[in-house]
Structure 1
């Protein structure tokens, strides 16, 4: 036996009376892929959170390593500068000592020359001069020995300085090599993290696209079912607007448009735009005893496009019939932009057995137009 609308209403009443049956019915109707979607999405979010935490931890480790390397480099540089200052001071001292020794030797040479002149002039004082010359030579020998000792100390100090410079250069080279290796490893890890983030982003995008596809398919099914209800039971569902309402068959609807085109009241393009109208309904006005025609667009959630189509197609049918045609949107809900447009363009809203005139449509509603349901 075929499922009727009455059976469907009974099923809805049973589900409302027994909410616990909804999960069982949903488990039977929904695919395994849909049922897994919340769990998969939660797993992806947890994985993304863990990956972000790991990335922040590695950033912290890298910053700490760079800070330690900077401190070591600054300490080595300060030590090198201090040692360089000490070497410069010692070199300055040695230069001063050599300069003093040179001046002393020069003075002694002048003294020896002066004494030699005195010896030549005073032969009688030769013995005294010989003794003075001996003492002078002894002094010169001591001075030469002191100069040699200072020179040896200078050479040893210079050798030690060169060795320390070589050690500092080697330490600096090792630090640079370690830093370069650490930077290569850091770049590799960043590349791995970037690739992992890219893969995770692609997976999240795929899940979101699949969820959007399911939502779009569900909206289409709801709109198709709502359209079937309005066309199957027009007398009951259009009762807030009309008495004895009937839906004009599609064949008759096309005849009306084609006859009007032949008579020149509408164009071929207007026929193409008005033909997809969801329902053309005839009946008697509930308050005035006159025949009324409705141009109805049916959608689960009415958008501005539904309102615009109802207004445009009603105007075309009004010229085709040479009669008043009222534009109507039959929907479970109207978005806020659609409500504003309906009030502005004189479109009625039919919702679950209630009819709202354009000026009576409430302003509250969903903030934005959602995905359009095909007509």
Structure 2
């Protein structure tokens, strides 16, 4: 009698009811090569996993070293950003190439894994078919021994075919493993060259940093010497300023004394009269009027004399007197607060004269009184409230 699908189902039910029969039946049906196939596949997977893990750990260690060194390099070469940028671009190109190679390796691994998954699914499907057949065979084994033997022969043939397919699969896996090992070797060699380039770059970086440190130390030494020279200059400047202050304390009163005498002589020559003593007045940080007096002019009008006294009169002496006193709003307000009103006669007094001061006094319409030479440029009447000459 021929075996039917129902017979195989009955055999499968017997195996489910008696699990202890499965191992003897499997030993009877399956060859030694087929039984050891999962163990060999597991060893192959473990070996590949160990290789990938070793490569990953080495790459991660190298990447950590690179990250630490790049941080140190960025800190040291903050002033050399352009050179670092160029180096970073070169490294980015190399890293992109490395990423591309890893992507190719990952793609190859993905395709091989898909092929393996497909093969495993096919194997599982065939084992499922075999299990279903064994189950049905077991259910009808007692009544259909001869048909069972024929079916076993057919099963052996199919197992032989399966073993041949497995052999071809193992050969394919061996070839793939050899190709994978070759690619891993190439990747390791590329990683080694990259690390050697990295070590050479780090040595060059350290050398350049040492040169920069030497230059910085030389610069610091030069700066120290410059500071010492500057301290000496400041000391001499302070000594010179003290000398000037001492000289000013001597020459200032003498100049103001000559200014008062020359001013009195000029007023007398003009037929006028000084109504108040000639005094000096300070404008609270805005400057100082060296001579201030109220006078009656020859025509009977009264005016205020505003005098700036200098040892030697320069053109800038005229300009500073006009800008800082006669036209400066705050200076005019403070003079008015002291009781000085319109009109005023501005005069610059000096014991010596620069030739350019004559033209400056004429343009500014300010009096120029020089020691024994007298009034070289007569003063014009000014409006203190408006800060400009009258008429």
* TM bucket normalised to smaller: 0.3 to 0.5
Relative contact order higher in (CA < 8 Å, ≥ 6 apart): 2
Greater CA radius of gyration, 1 or 2? 2
The alignment's TM-score, normalised by the length of structure 1, stands at: 0.46
